[in-house]
Amino acid sequence: MTGPIAFVVVFGSLVFIHELGHFLAARLAGVKVEEFGFGFPPRLATLGTWRGTTISLNWLPIGGFVRLADESSPGPDSLASKGRWTRIMVHSAGALMNLVLAFLLFSATYLFGTLVQVDEPGAGVLMVAPGSPAEEAGLQPYDNILEVAGEPIDSSEEVVTLIQERLGQPTEFVIEREGEILAPVTITPRENAPENEGAVGISLHMPFARRSYPVWEAVPMGLRATAITVENIVWAIQAAIRRQFDLQLTGVIGIYTMTAQAAETGIVRLMQFAASLSVNLFLLNLLPLPALDGGKLVFIALEFLRGGKRVAPEKEGLVHAIGMVLLLALMVVITVVDYMRYIG
């Protein structure tokens, strides 16, 4: 699958599933859905209508939306007329659908066969540093190193030792990828490597092998993978807030680049990447920021604290409008940074 097609399929599917969650929850609650939009306005084209809902394609391809019956209207088919728990359900349904999708994708990868670390002789590549000798030689995450300088490899420690013995010297590596032994590649370990990269620019652990599991094992493994992904992202956000971790934000260009890279390594890796991205969207949309689902939930929480008294819809709408402008501005900045990082 080519990069552009993979990006459209992955990103489009995640946006569609998210908005479908809002759509289904609203319809279940008796709320009229006036528009189901792909991308953000202005509108490019009207794709059709379904049971009173306009389906639109919009110019800004950075997300999607569902437009519900006017929040300021107390009409029986508007969200404003519904109780607090119903509004919580509608606002949180999109993020929850992203979480469910991540679980299904992770489970499917275990069912159909995924690369897992095994306690066998060899060394597996966990990460490859950008611009490193390993990347220039074509090494990829999940590769297995079988030989270094003609020496068979039994463990990652042996790889490190052999590399340290050959700093500055062209060294032949024999690599296995997805069960196929590739033609030997030559890498010259750096004598003065950047901090935390190592002489070659790889991090190592146990070797990888493809394994598939029956459904009764794949489902709990998918659930565990989803929980671990949520935990890791939350940890990264907390560490970034405490300035213990450099959290890099990425936008459409970065997501496109990573999607294309995942697609090059096969459909299972693409599914794993899509699952991780779906978890990111789950958490992102629940952040308590104006214009996001989490920001709308904050106003419902204020309603609980105020004894059932709602913030005036006009004031809440203004807050979300300002938040949307700021978020769009942030997206522009991130896109510029992405361009400089990946293209410029």
pLDDT tens readout for residues 112-130 = 988 888 888 889 998 888 8
Q: Between 89 and 192, where is the model more confident? A: 89
Q: Residue 246 — pLDDT band, cuts 50, 70, 90?
A: low
The DSSP letter of residue 81 is G
Contact 260, 6 (CB under 8 A): yes
Give this prediction's pTM: 0.81
> At residue 38, does pLDDT exceed 60?
yes
Q: Residue 19 — pLDDT band, cuts 50, 70, 90?
A: very high
Other beta carbons within 10 Å of 126: 16
Please report the pLDDT score of residue 262 as a whole number. Answer: 85
Among 19, 147, 197, 316, the active-site one is 19
Closest of 139, 138, 84 to residue 302, by C-alpha: 84
Distance of CA 6 to the CA centre of its chain: 14
The pair phi, psi for residue 214, each rounded to 5°, is -65, 160
Q: What is the mean pLDDT of residues 252-272?
A: 86
Question: Which of the residue ranges 73-82, 145-154, 168-177 would you say has the lowest mean pLDDT?
Answer: 73-82
Question: Interior CA angle at 278 toward 344 and 178, to 5°?
Answer: 75
CA-to-CA separations, 222 to 3, 65, 275, in angstroms, rounded? 26, 28, 10
Please report the pLDDT score of residue 308 as a whole number. Answer: 86
Rounded Cα–Cα distance for residues 287 and 41 (Å)? 23
Rounded Cα–Cα distance for residues 201 and 204 (Å)? 10
Rounded Cα–Cα distance for residues 252 and 63 (Å)? 10
Q: What is the mean pLDDT of residues 131-156?
A: 91
Q: Where are the domains of the chain?
A: 91-113+219-344, 116-211
Contact 303, 312 (CB under 8 A): no
Q: What is the mean pLDDT of residues 244-252?
A: 72
Condensed to tens digits (0 to 9), the pLDDT of residues 51-69 reads 889 999 998 877 889 999 8
Q: Residue 327 — pLDDT band, cuts 50, 70, 90?
A: confident
Rounded Cα–Cα distance for residues 281 and 288 (Å)? 14
CA-to-CA separations, 191 to 91, 167, 198, in angstroms, rounded? 54, 5, 9
Give the β-pairing of 208-211 and 53-68: unpaired
Is residue 197 part of the annotated active site? The answer reads no
Rounded Cα–Cα distance for residues 2 and 130 (Å)? 21
Question: Which of the residue ranges 264-273, 276-285, 288-297 would you say has the lowest mean pLDDT?
Answer: 264-273
Kind and range of the H or E element at 163?
helix 156-165
- Tokens, residue 280: 């990111």
Other beta carbons within 10 Å of 289: 16
Contact 210, 178 (CB under 8 A): yes
Please report the pLDDT score of residue 72 as a whole number. Answer: 57
Q: Residue 249 — pLDDT band, cuts 50, 70, 90?
A: confident
The pair phi, psi for residue 127, each rounded to 5°, is -140, 150
Q: Average model confidence (pLDDT) for the chain? A: 89
Distance of CA 14 to the CA centre of its chain: 9
> At residue 133, does pLDDT exceed 70?
yes
CATH superfamily of domain region 116-211: PDZ domain (2.30.42.10)
Q: What is the mean pLDDT of residues 204-208?
A: 87
